[in-house]
Amino acid sequence: MIIKPLLATLLFAFTLTNCSRENCEDWYEGNDCSAQQRDKFYGVYIGVLKTYDPQGDLVSEGPIDLTIEQGTEINELRLTNQPDCVFVLTITGETGFTIPNYNGGTGGTVNGEGAFNGKTLFFELNSLNGVSSLTFFGSK
């Protein structure tokens, strides 16, 4: 049958001309590889911020809106109202991130990790001096 080789040839040609994620440079995606992967994470996330003491007991809980914007590097995002709080995307094509050490105010130096999942955001911050930890869960 000539149809199978023809179909295979057409699929192969389509694969060569189609710019999928596998054909894009790191941290880019889309049909023409022009979209930065981090672009889809920008925006306002409405959620709940919880603070815990060193024993893991809930100290406070309250609603908060966090705005995520472009960071300095191609794989970075940051909080608009706390530009030192940087989310570093760890693996191209993935949604997990780390939060390197930064001055977290009364909690002292903090760091953490988190992830985006569709339109939701979750992260945890831990103070290096063991005073407290924070979690945030929210969505666009």
Question: pLDDT (tens digit, 9 = 90+) per residue, 52-90?
Answer: 998 889 999 999 999 999 999 999 999 999 889 999 999
CATH number for position 45 = 2.40.128
Residues 121 and 101 occupy one common structural domain: yes
Residues 68 and 95 occupy one common structural domain: yes
Residues 16 and 58 occupy one common structural domain: no
Residues 76 and 10 occupy one common structural domain: no
Residues 108-135: tens digit of each pLDDT: 788 999 999 999 999 999 988 877 899 9
Residues 112 and 133 occupy one common structural domain: yes
Q: What is the pTM of this model?
A: 0.79
Note down the domain range covering 55. 40-139
* Burial class, 98, CB count within 10 angstroms (exposed 0-12 / middle 13-18 / buried 19+): middle
Number of domains in the chain: 2
Residues 51 and 115 occupy one common structural domain: yes
Residues 90 and 108 occupy one common structural domain: yes
Q: 3-class SS at 18?
A: coil
Residues 113 and 46 occupy one common structural domain: yes
Average pLDDT over residues 21-40: 90
Distance from the Cα of residue 30 to its chain's centroid: 17
